[in-house]
Amino acid sequence: MNLHEYQGKEILAGFGVRVQRGIVAHNAQEAVSAAKQLTQETGTGWHVIKAQIHAGGRGKGGGVKLAKDLKQVEELAEQIIGMDLVTPQTPPEGKRVNQVLVAEDVYYPGDSETSEFYMSVLLNRAKGRNMIMYSTEGGMDIEEVAEKTPHLIFTEEIDPAVGLQPFQARRIAFNLGLSGTAFKEMTKFVSALYTAYIKSDASLFEINPVLKTSDDKIMAVDAKVTLDDNALYRHKDYNEMRDLREENPIEVEAKAVGLNYVDLDGNVGCMVNGAGLAMATMDLIKQAGGEPANFLDVGGTADAKRVETAFRIILKDPNVKAILVNIFGGIVRCDRVAQGIVDAYKNMGDSIQVPIIVRLQGTNAEIAKELIDNSGLAVHSAVQFQEAADKVKEVLS
């Protein structure tokens, strides 16, 4: 689950990570009162108004703006809330901004003593370890830094048995060129950040920039946080942070009816039972020259109702040019699934405009094939994996 910057910062602050202070606002009036409150608490007169969407590069797209007084806070909030913000990370039509974060300006106008760093914590799957990636080149596009000046990116691997060691935090501060108070502040920042990452069951923290202020404080100015969905049951309060408006609407709908669906870019919709078979089916589609349009595991109970729901969900994706149903009948019998497909097809009438290839294997597979072949519907049936692949190729060409 991805979070908004303001939510990510809330989690970080809860674990003692210093963050740029801010208050979320849903309209211009709220933005003005937020700014007033921040001025009272921090003494700052300048504020930064930051669009809250699930995408980075907001600064480049005009979603992060500096306000020197309350009038500007109001104007900028008015302008940013409701806009469709286009950044290098959004779809071309942009993302609607529903709220802004009104934050204290921590750069202090005219100040040249600040530095911006990059820092992320993530799981290195190849090594099976968490690592901290960091760079002196903060505030910019880190992919570009990685490409042009890879020697400016450092990594620190963490041994899960002992956790982050103090010498590692010191090495990070050293490599970032810090000394004195800033050095100490950085070691504290890094260890609090790593604790937050572990305790919140996150799978990614990306803090770009981490700021060294002119008075040597180290703080998170931005926060991109991804939490591990499988661990959310341990964090009931984080569940409430989910913003469905930011998520893929088809995935949200599938989740609501208990289907395991992931939207992909291709043209062949898949309906499969079991995650392993779903992966194999996606390979099969690629081999046949297609690209999977989705991952969909209907699970163990592929009855008519469920099959119909799954069809409806797959067909919401306008890119789908064919559907491959690949079901292994173990506990669920193939003839029941076949009946489900036939019933769903009949119920849905004209809404199915694309060819369907059905491959049923396992208990009562032959009866199932007969059922489909005799249904009079435009459904291609197959028993073998390869047969199904050939049919996919045929209908795509």
User: Residue 275 corresponds to which tokens in the numbers above?
Assistant: 């995650």
Residues 191-220 that bind ligand GDP (CB under 6 A): 208-209
Shortest approach of ligand GDP to residue 191 CB, angstroms? 23
Shortest approach of ligand GDP to residue 263 CB, angstroms? 23
In angstroms, rounded to a whole number, what is the distance separating the alpha carbons of residues 287 and 388?
A: 11
Q: How far is CA 181 from the centre of its chain?
A: 36
Between 141 and 390, CB nearer to ligand GDP: 141
In angstroms, rounded to a whole number, what is the distance separating the alpha carbons of residues 83 and 52?
A: 11
CB 6 within 8 A of CB 230: no
Instruction: Please count the CA atoms within 13 angstroms of the CA of 113 that sit on its side-chain side.
Output: 9
Between 107 and 328, CB nearer to ligand GDP: 107
Between 48 and 270, CB nearer to Mn ion: 48
Q: Which stretch binds Mn ion (CB under 5 A): 206-214, 244-252, 318-326, 342-350?
A: 206-214
CB 372 within 8 A of CB 338: yes
Shortest approach of ligand GDP to residue 13 CB, angstroms? 15
End-to-end CA distance of the chain: 38
Could you tell me the sign of the dihedral formed by the alpha carbons of 133, 139, 145, 150, in that order? negative
Between 106 and 302, CB nearer to ligand GDP: 106
User: Residue 382's closest CA among 315, 322, 321, 311?
Assistant: 322
Query: What is the x/- site pattern for ligand GDP, positions 119-158, by CB under 6 A?
Result: --------------------x-------------------
In angstroms, rounded to a whole number, what is the distance separating the alpha carbons of residues 61 and 89?
A: 10
The single residue among 74, 105, 137, 297 that binds ligand GDP, judged by CB under 6 A, is: 105
- Residue 222 engages Mn ion in binding (rule: CB under 5 A): yes
CB 208 within 8 A of CB 139: yes
Is 206 an annotated catalytic residue? yes
The single residue among 14, 16, 37, 66 that binds ligand GDP, judged by CB under 6 A, is: 66
Q: What is the DSSP string of 362-386?
A: ETTHHHHHHHHHTTTSSEEEESSHH
Between 105 and 137, CB nearer to ligand GDP: 105
Cross-strand pairs, 47: 67, 104
Choose among ligand GDP, Mn ion, none what residue 221 binds, the Cβ cut-off being 5 to 8 Å by kind.
Answer: ligand GDP
The CA radius of gyration of the chain, in Å to the nearest whole number, is 26
In angstroms, rounded to a whole number, what is the distance separating the alpha carbons of residues 135 and 154?
A: 6
Choose among ligand GDP, Mn ion, none what residue 105 binds, the Cβ cut-off being 5 to 8 Å by kind.
Answer: ligand GDP
In angstroms, rounded to a whole number, what is the distance separating the alpha carbons of residues 15 and 237?
A: 15
Q: How far is CA 174 from the centre of its chain?
A: 32
Which candidate in 5, 10, 104, 118 is catalytic? 118
Between 219 and 298, CB nearer to ligand GDP: 219
Residues 4-63 that bind ligand GDP (CB under 6 A): 48, 50, 56-59
Shortest approach of ligand GDP to residue 115 CB, angstroms? 11
Shortest approach of ligand GDP to residue 45 CB, angstroms? 12
Residues 244-303 that bind ligand GDP (CB under 6 A): none
The single residue among 99, 135, 208, 294 that binds Mn ion, judged by CB under 5 A, is: 208
Between 62 and 362, CB nearer to ligand GDP: 62
Total number of residues that touch ligand GDP (CB under 6 A): 17
User: Residue 368's closest CA among 381, 349, 357?
Assistant: 381
Shortest approach of ligand GDP to residue 5 CB, angstroms? 6
Between 26 and 68, CB nearer to ligand GDP: 68
Is 118 an annotated catalytic residue? yes
| Local structure of 347: helix, strand or coil | helix
Q: What is the DSSP string of 156-191?
A: EEE-TTT-S-HHHHHHHHHHTT--HHHHHHHHHHHH
Q: Which stretch binds ligand GDP (CB under 6 A): 6-14, 104-112, 298-306, 317-325?
A: 104-112
Q: 322-329 and 294-297: which strand pairing?
A: unpaired
Residues annotated as part of the active site: 118, 206
**Interface contacts to Mn ion, rule CB under 5 A:** 208, 222
**Interface contacts to ligand GDP, rule CB under 6 A:** 48, 50, 56-59, 64, 66, 103, 105-107, 139, 208-209, 221-222
